[in-house]
Structure 1
Amino acid sequence: MRVLLVEDEAELGTSLARVLERRGLQVQHRMAGAEALQALEHERFDVAVLDIGLPGMDGLQLLQRLRDRGHTLPVLLLTARGGVGDRVAGLNAGADDYLAKPFDPDELEARLRALARRAGVADEPRCGELRLDRATGAFYWRSAALELTPRESALLAALMERPGRAVTRARLTGLAFGADPPSQPDAVEVVVHRLRKKLVETGVQITTLRGLGYLVQEVRAP
């Protein structure tokens, strides 16, 4: 899912982009309305997050220009103003959702995914160039399908739903082994070990967080 984030506070925008990217979204951060319009002329996005308090062309004006140009892109307005009048103004201007600062990144992610689903965007879990096809349950790296066992697939699917965030060992055990609990205490570690070998060439790795569980993340070249 490709997200256009328009936020003039550089530190906040960079932080939000990193949080969303760790969760499998592709984010482009722009700091002004004119930059956002230019990006939309050359690239495709699935959803946009607009800060109302932009300098020059504010978020409501930017939204109006998008709608005047025929853009049907789902838009979530982000603002420090949480009054009813502000929300009504944003929705009347053509916004699809509204979130007041401060907010929880989990809620922002959930709202963006909901907007994308309503717009018919395929919400496929991704980490780097690795993706899960929900329709078939198959994992692909670029265009190549990975050969995984059912237990490996179940474990990787759980990790891919939360890229960059830990999933507990107990949850992974339940998903991988279901109603047939393993007799060996290190059974999950065995599945993780096999997965790591199959992911070596993908640029994605599974990291062990002692006391917390495991997470999957993209390994970027230095």
Structure 2
Amino acid sequence: MKILLIEDELKLAGFIADGLTQAGHICDVVADGNKGLETAMIGHYDLILLDMMLPSLNGLEVLKNLRSFNNQTQVIIISALNDTEHVINGLDHGAIDYLKKPFELEELLARIRSVQRRSFAQDSLKLQVADLKVDLLTREVSRAGKTVMLSNREFALLEFLLANQNKVVTKSQILEKVWDINFDPGSNVIEVHLYQLRKKMDRGYDEELIHTVVGRGYILKGDVKQG
């Protein structure tokens, strides 16, 4: 998942971001409410982790503004404000969960897995294209029965291509959905990662699944089957 963490405690934010990255997620960190709101509106995130006590704009105001702009990105609040009133306020204004500080990283990861399960129907967590099998929850990938080891970024690329099967996706679309806010769009990193993904997935097999569409972008061809 591409996750935005809005948290002003830098040490805690670094700890959470490292844990999310190790778990296979892509994580951007913003330390104040106004910047967090702006980033959330333009960043195309799957999930927002939102502190309540933030400089410039508190977490509840960030959440209210997101919903008023019809941004429906799922939000988990992480806060030391753990009295019943604050929990209810957060949930009533559109958060899907409220995690009280301090918490264990494993608990946060479990909450995120719960969000993933709710985001996908259970029968759509396992996908197949030709002889390629992908488990979106366990992140296991195989081709013709052989395990394919992907980096976090390569898996995120594959997941995005699967979500847009038989559609051409541009470099700009990949940038919005898969890369972080500090990425230099002028670099060739996306091309390099796609080359590595194709090398692992397609090289040595009769049927290529990922194709370059010259001047437009990339496409994963094939019918995605669930289950």
- Common topology (TM > 0.5): yes
Larger Rg: 1
Task: Give, as a single letter, the amino acid of the residue that structure 2 aligns with 1:133.
Answer: V
Task: Give, as a single letter, the amino acid of the residue that structure 2 aligns with 1:53.
Answer: M
After TM superposition, give the deviation of residue 117 of structure 1 in Å.
2.7
Q: Report whether the alignment pairs 1:94 with 2:94.
A: yes
TM-score normalized with structure 1 length:
0.57
State the match for 1:45 in structure 2.
Answer: 45
Structure 1 residues without counterparts, runs of 5 or longer: 125-130, 161-200, 203-222
5 Å-filtered alignment, 1:146-161, equals 149=146
The 2-side partners of 1:4 and 1:31 are apart by 11
CA pair 23-81 structure 1, distance change in 2 beyond 3 A? same
Task: Give, as a single letter, the amino acid of the residue that structure 2 aligns with 1:20.
Answer: L
The 1-side partners of 2:109 and 2:139 are apart by 24
After TM superposition, give the deviation of residue 147 of structure 1 in Å.
5.9
State the match for 2:159 in structure 1.
Answer: none
The 2-side partners of 1:11 and 1:48 are apart by 18
Task: Give, as a single letter, the amino acid of the residue that structure 2 aligns with 1:15.
Answer: F
CA pair 6-132 structure 1, distance change in 2 beyond 3 A? farther
5 Å-filtered alignment, 1:1-222, equals 1-120=1-120, 133-134=134-135, 149=146
Q: Contact 1:3–1:48 (CA<8 Å) still a contact in 2?
A: yes
Partner-residue secondary structure (3-state), 1:77: strand
- Which deviates further from its counterpart, 107-116 or 95-104? 107-116
The 1-side partners of 2:140 and 2:78 are apart by 34
Give CA-to-partner distance per residue, 1:156-204, whole Å, 9 cap, x none: 79xx9xxxxxxxxxxxxxxxxxxxxxxxxxxxxxxxxxxxxxxxx87xx
The 1-side partners of 2:139 and 2:105 are apart by 28
Partner-residue secondary structure (3-state), 1:37: helix
Partner-residue secondary structure (3-state), 1:90: helix
Q: Contact 1:78–1:100 (CA<8 Å) still a contact in 2?
A: yes
Q: Contact 2:34–2:56 (CA<8 Å) still a contact in 1?
A: no
Task: Give, as a single letter, the amino acid of the residue that structure 2 aligns with 1:78.
Answer: I
CA pair 146-109 structure 1, distance change in 2 beyond 3 A? same
* CA-atom RMSD in angstroms: 3.3
After TM superposition, give the deviation of residue 146 of structure 1 in Å.
5.1
Q: Contact 2:41–2:71 (CA<8 Å) still a contact in 1?
A: no
Partner-residue secondary structure (3-state), 1:4: strand
The 2-side partners of 1:51 and 1:147 are apart by 44
Number of aligned positions between the proteins: 146
The 2-side partners of 1:97 and 1:4 are apart by 15
* Identical counterparts, % of pairs: 28
The 2-side partners of 1:106 and 1:57 are apart by 28
Q: Contact 2:133–2:143 (CA<8 Å) still a contact in 1?
A: no
TM-score normalized with structure 2 length:
0.56
Q: Contact 2:51–2:59 (CA<8 Å) still a contact in 1?
A: yes
